[in-house]
């Protein structure tokens, strides 16, 4: 999964360098990434995500409202009109073969200063209408809100086909609550791999319920993270002030670095066949977001081993 502001060269509202999305995508394809999903966090962001997705056959997107942005429903002056605009955009994107999920939506109680819990809950639940109407899976966000999140998912579990709770950073107890929903996967990125406790939690996620991602440009694996000891792949980097398209920008995550997440997952789970793990995780992703592309060979593999797969 990818978000896009910094790939225009803009950091905290200041322009540091020219847009370099072409170079970023080139590194991703060279690293073996096959598809990228650009995530929408509001109506306007979702419109932009669709425009970006239309520039390359390997790019796709989501439509939805992030929990910290849910006040936009009411600040628009007419929440239902705002919702109908989301629905219309989603249908447009489906017709173009580009919109593959509803989201990013969910609950974030770590950042209630952006949006109060009651507003988050109201419009998280509302977005299940979007999933139900379009039959799309969901790209979900849960931060320090497991009880309310799981309660809403339980009430609406018949209204969506599948989903991933991405960028998971919560406890083993919260992990196990999510795994009780047979149609939910757990998404892991650098933010999920910061501490030894995080690694212990990740070890307990069955591979068949796992996805990996970058959440670019955020959630890179840093040298201070517990997972760094398993990282083998490195790219040359420079500070944004000394931007060079041939290098990644220090402190800015990008899609090619999903390889590092894969390496940490293999390392902390004691898996030596990293290519098989990659195939398994990629299959998980296809089952949720690209089910039409699962060929007979992949289905035969699934039937024989009861293993699924992905890579973002």
CA distance 186 to 201: 11
Going across the sheet that includes 138-143, the strands are 36-38, 59-63, 99-108, 138-143, 163-166, 184-188, 210-212
* H/E element, 248: strand 248-249
CA distance 242 to 114: 33
CB atoms within 10 A of CB 149: 27
Is there a binding annotation on residue 108?
Answer: no
Would you call 77 exposed, middle or buried from its count of C-beta atoms within 10 A (0-12, 13-18, 19+)? exposed
Helix and strand numbers, DSSP H then E, in the chain:
11, 11
> In this structure, what are the phi and psi dihedrals at residue 106, rounded to the nearest 5 degrees?
150, -145
* 48-74 burial: b if 16+ Cβ within 10 Å, else e: ebbebbeeeeebbbbbbbbbbbbebbe
Is there a binding annotation on residue 263?
Answer: no
CA distance 76 to 89: 16
Question: Residue ranges for the binding site?
Answer: 104, 141, 166, 215
Question: Residue ranges for the binding site for a divalent metal cation?
Answer: 104, 141, 166, 215
């Amino acid at each position: 999964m990818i978000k896009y502001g910094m790939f225009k060269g803009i950091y905290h509202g200041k322009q540091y360098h020219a847009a370099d999305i072409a170079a970023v995508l080139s590194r991703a394809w060279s690293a073996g990434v096959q598809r990228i999903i650009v995530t929408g966090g509001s109506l306007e962001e979702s419109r932009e995500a669709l425009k970006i997705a239309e520039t390359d056959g390997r790019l796709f997107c989501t439509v939805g409202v992030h929990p910290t942005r849910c006040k936009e429903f009411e600040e628009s002056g007419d929440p239902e009109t705002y919702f109908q605009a989301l629905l219309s955009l989603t249908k447009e994107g489906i017709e173009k073969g580009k919109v593959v999920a509803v989201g990013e939506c969910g609950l974030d109680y770590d950042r209630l200063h952006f949006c109060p819990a009651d507003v988050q809950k109201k419009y998280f639940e509302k977005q299940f209408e979007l999933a139900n109407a379009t039959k799309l899976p969901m790209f979900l966000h849960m931060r320090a809100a497991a009880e309310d999140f799981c309660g809403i998912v339980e009430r609406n579990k018949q209204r969506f086909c599948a989903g991933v709770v991405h960028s998971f950073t919560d406890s083993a107890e919260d992990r196990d609550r999510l795994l009780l929903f047979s149609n939910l996967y757990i998404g892991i990125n650098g933010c999920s791999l910061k501490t030894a406790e995080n690694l212990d939690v990740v070890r307990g996620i069955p591979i068949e319920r796992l996805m990996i991602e970058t959440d670019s440009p955020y959630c890179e694996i840093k040298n201070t993270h517990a997972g760094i000891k398993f990282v083998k792949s490195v790219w040359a980097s420079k500070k944004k002030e000394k931007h060079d398209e041939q290098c990644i920008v220090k402190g800015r995550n990008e899609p090619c670095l999903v390889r590092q997440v894969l390496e940490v997952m293999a390392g902390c789970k004691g898996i030596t066949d990293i290519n098989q793990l990659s195939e398994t995780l990629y299959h998980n992703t296809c089952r949720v977001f690209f089910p039409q592309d699962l060929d007979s060979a992949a289905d035969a593999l699934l039937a024989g081993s009861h293993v699924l797969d992905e890579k973002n």
